[in-house]
Structure 1
């Protein structure tokens, strides 16, 4: 191999590496990122140390939907993962473990098993209304959502933090990719 051919090969490798780094940067910045679930607040649907793929593009082209699992900026250096319960323009209330949106009961299929395990008189979600959470809103304002963890007795969520503005949403959780025995679509 001549010196000129060797230089061409090195240039080709460097070019491929630079392109790979740029593509990785663009994908992570604008499309998808991996995150690790920390803590028990989303059990049983997401476990501590589950790794999930977050779709960052989703909320750039559409609005959150009820029961989406989302990642949001809870503080400058901390992101949380929770479930969308209330949407803009809605009233939200929990009474006796029933979610009411605008006065109508809504089934939370992601909690059916947890609610079935409760003993007589035991509650999974303490009663509250939108007015009870920080901010004291009567209706969820535009570009805000009410988020709750699936593990209602052990979750820091909108009941403590208040309503979350759209611009704090990082994206929606779509797939669990680790550990191997939990690979699947996020419920």
Structure 2
């Protein structure tokens, strides 16, 4: 008879421990660092499918978007940041806000779908942005663009979604070498980074966009394989991103796996472990 209270107490203590652990994890993820896994190739070769990183939420302060979003469709979980912190949404401001810098690699919430995206910050509030013949123009001036050889990868399904890369050398069969032209783009503030080009397409020639106050313009480094601010959000792109939709800055890759699962240790990329993001 004496064992029953002890058994009940043990169960209660276990539940309390789990609840405390979840609360601590939620606070840590909300205030400091959020894990982020790269699902697509829109930021190649800065970020590859299967890179795992932590997003620095302290870099730009906090808004409703700082609250965690948990989306696991396989088991029917869809908890949006607005569901938890929606009372902070609407005034496009941040607590302890810091200004993002041009060239930062940033995670933000899509203005329409609310899904997390990761792109490079290109345009600041009040600036004009245009792409002409694959060359980026900021406030009417072309950015410096230097040829940097090619980016090559094996043509094969990549990551858990089995995405196939697009290639400048045409459709390539499994096991072939997929080639993209690579350039070093230098932004007006001196930030240099690689970009990839496949061939001329609609997103390589855009209208002149004027970035509204309180908003930012983002583009992927894999320019011909990126859904970003070059297409308005109402047309299926990203459009201008409000200040309050920014989640944080990506500073460093912690882990990387080229396989369908992180458990496939033979597909790990040790040369990318703890690699800084530029």
The match for 1:82 is 119
Structure 2 SS opposite 1:110: strand
The match for 2:78 is none
Give aligned pairs, total.
166
The match for 1:62 is 98
Answer yes or no: is 1:186 the counterpart of 2:277.
yes
Answer yes or no: is 1:36 the counterpart of 2:37.
yes
The one of 122, 125, 143 equivalent to 1:106 is: 143
Q: CA deviation at 1:14?
A: 10
Question: RMSD over aligned Cα, in angstroms?
Answer: 2.9
More helix by share: 1
The one of 79, 82, 107 equivalent to 1:71 is: 107
Q: CA deviation at 1:151?
A: 0.8
Structure 1 SS opposite 2:46: coil
Judge which range, 170-179 or 55-64, deviates more: 55-64
Q: CA deviation at 1:143?
A: 1.1
* TM-score after normalising by structure 2: 0.52
Structure 1 SS opposite 2:30: helix
> Within 5 Å, which residues of 2 pair with 1:96-175?
96-107=133-144, 108=185, 109-111=192-194, 114=196, 122-123=199-200, 126-131=204-209, 139-160=210-231, 161=233, 162-175=239-252
Q: CA deviation at 1:81?
A: 0.8
Distance 2:207 2:121 in 1: 15
Q: CA deviation at 1:25?
A: 2.6
Deviation string 1:9-59 (CA, Å, 9 cap, x unpaired) is x9xx99998776544332211111111011111111101111111011211
Structure 1 SS opposite 2:44: coil
Distance 1:29 1:94 in 2: 36
* TM-score after normalising by structure 1: 0.75
Q: CA deviation at 1:98?
A: 2.5
Structure 1 SS opposite 2:230: helix
